[in-house]
Structure 1
Amino acid sequence: MLRVNEMNTFIGRKRIVKNVSLQVSPGDIVGLVGPNGAGKTTIMKTILGLAKFTGNISINDKEVTENNHNALSEVGALIEHPAIYPFLSGLQNLELYSHDKHDVMNIISMLQMDAYIKGKAKGYSLGMKQKLGIAIALLNHPKLIILDEPMNGLDVEATIGVRKIIKQYAEQGTAFLISSHILSELQKVMTRIVLINDGKIIVNRDIKEFNQISHQKYRLDTEKNEFSMQLLKSNSIPISKNEDYLLVKKEDIFKAQDILYKNQIHLKEMSPMNANFEQIIVSILEKQRGQHHEK
């Protein structure tokens, strides 16, 4: 659905996005993750033909250039702030962009906007404006939907509703590219993670594959934890302590068991430790920064 090949984006003479290549297939929900200023919004704007770039971008095999936006006819987008006319009602805003009245009413109902949709948009709260921006992006059954921070200003109920809608559209074959700093929300919907730092992709993985990283350490509890810790260290096994437990890397687990058994130390518990999503992202970024400083 979307192919990006060796894309470099420039603001003035400064290169903001560096050699980015990625693919999004029908039904994919790709999460664009990274620290502030990493280049996530710039990548999205470039795909929408809103920035000067080199490389190739194609949507459904149609090329996007700075001057030719025909390929974007099947793309819905919400970037930064919703493009809303304040003196029109929410309904009139939707009707401006829509080709199908039934589609409009369906989206209003899905996003639970019926109560205020006929009121002027200038009187909307941040959350109401955000919902209207999402509604505009969903109009006309797009093949690709690009959402920049879609959960901004939404309450818990609205967030759950938007999540369900994203999954529903993806099941029907719509592709999504979504950036969000609320990683826990993105984690619940995305099928692939693309981690960006300093304008470059540093991780591009299927989410199931990525989640396996979370089982990197095992928690051990023995009848003699202090002695066990010294023993394992003296056998060159990296080990740390967390509260009353010992932490051992996954690859060292069998070796650790053998050493404890030889020394007649009974193991009371051994279980995988789940690192949460944010911790994994932070540790990858820290590792990358460390490598960058070494260079």
Structure 2
Amino acid sequence: MESILTINNLTKKFGSLIAVNNLSFTIKKGNVYGILGPNGSGKSTTLGIVLNVVNKTEGNFSWFDGNTSTHDALKKVGAIIERPNFYPYMTAEQNLKLVCKIKGVDYGKITEKLEIVGLLERKDSKFKTYSLGMKQRLAIASALLNDPEILILDEPTNGLDPQGIHQIREIIKQIAAQGTTILLASHLLDEVEKVCSHVVVLRKGVKLYSGRVDEMISSHGFFELKCNNQEALVEVLESSNMFGNIKVTGDLVTAFLNEPMKSDDFNKFLFDKGIVLTHLVQRKESLEEQFLKLTDNQKN
């Protein structure tokens, strides 16, 4: 699969602070990538470096085939890394015409892009009358005017209400379905899990995980258990290599699986060992649980 962006051993220092620490990952064409991490993890700095607005300290990155200069590559990139900045007393259409002039794009693209973000009926409304969600959607339309090969979004749903968040996420999915590669930075696990195919997890500038979202959450899951003889239950679980971590919280026992197992087979296994369960729930780990597990393993 064709590479869009390759990052190798990228480091950025602000004095004694290391914002990005020896970061490497590759973005392939046609996928939706999320850079996930809490505030201060280096997400925005990484995007700033590849967009030539922040100077790197060490390492390198290359666009497309590696022989394209960053200046030329950015002509094929759409990006929103700050709050939408349009003229408040101009209409949406007038603002986008201005962007077309700057980018050297035909005005004919405006209707198409406004339709994608659901603002065509409001094209003659002044920007100052737009809600925050509408402003963000107009910014996405603006970033799409040059038909970019990759769309880069920094915290695209930040500050929006639930309806605005849903609208932005649906637009991102729609754009991705048309074949545009997307890279978005987010501190929201829910956002990455619902929108992205791939994720890079950062903490304090260090990469903790890079790969497919479904592979990150493809653990065999766990059972939540209760019984009248908790001690015997824990002893059986700990003596079997079918289970990894066993966690006891009050009267609830959580047993993480090392291999796939159906709940009825598990129940029979315990019954044959003389243990009768009063509570049995099988669950899969969410991205949030995987993320917490990753970050808990890191020293502060």
TM-score tier after normalising by the smaller chain length: 0.7 to 0.9
SS in 1 for 2:298: helix
Question: Counterpart of 1:272 in structure 2: which amino acid?
Answer: Q
- The match for 1:218 is 223
Query: Is 1:112 aligned to 2:114, yes or no?
Result: no
8 Å Cα contact 1:56-1:63 kept in structure 2: no
8 Å Cα contact 1:221-1:244 kept in structure 2: yes
- The match for 1:206 is 212
- The match for 1:20 is 23
- The match for 1:272 is 282
Q: Alignment partner for residue 246 of structure 2, among 239, 252, 260?
A: 239
More helix by share: 1
User: Hey, what's the Cα distance between the residues in 1 that align with 2:11 and 2:187?
Assistant: 23
Question: Counterpart of 1:70 in structure 2: which amino acid?
Answer: D
Q: 1:132 to 1:11 in 2, by over 3 A?
A: farther
Q: 1:244 to 1:37 in 2, by over 3 A?
A: same
User: Hey, what's the Cα distance between the residues in 1 that align with 2:238 and 2:152?
Assistant: 53
- The match for 2:193 is 187
User: Hey, what's the Cα distance between the residues in 2 that align with 1:112 and 1:274?
Assistant: 36
Q: Alignment partner for residue 143 of structure 2, among 119, 137, 141?
A: 137
- Give % identity: 32
Query: Is 1:285 aligned to 2:287, yes or no?
Result: no
8 Å Cα contact 2:217-2:285 kept in structure 1: no
8 Å Cα contact 1:127-1:152 kept in structure 2: no
Residue segments in structure 1 that go unaligned for 5+ positions in a row: none
**RMSD value, Cα:** 3.0
- The match for 1:228 is 232
8 Å Cα contact 1:229-1:239 kept in structure 2: no
Q: Alignment partner for residue 63 of structure 2, among 59, 64, 69?
A: 59
Q: 1:216 to 1:287 in 2, by over 3 A?
A: farther
Residue pairs, 1:77-96, within 5 angstroms: 77-96=79-98
Q: 1:86 to 1:264 in 2, by over 3 A?
A: same
Residue pairs, 1:140-159, within 5 angstroms: 140-159=146-165
- The match for 1:102 is 108
Q: TM-score, normalised by structure 2?
A: 0.81
Q: 1:21 to 1:240 in 2, by over 3 A?
A: closer
Q: TM-score, normalised by structure 1?
A: 0.83
SS in 2 for 1:288: coil
Residue segments in structure 2 that go unaligned for 5+ positions in a row: none
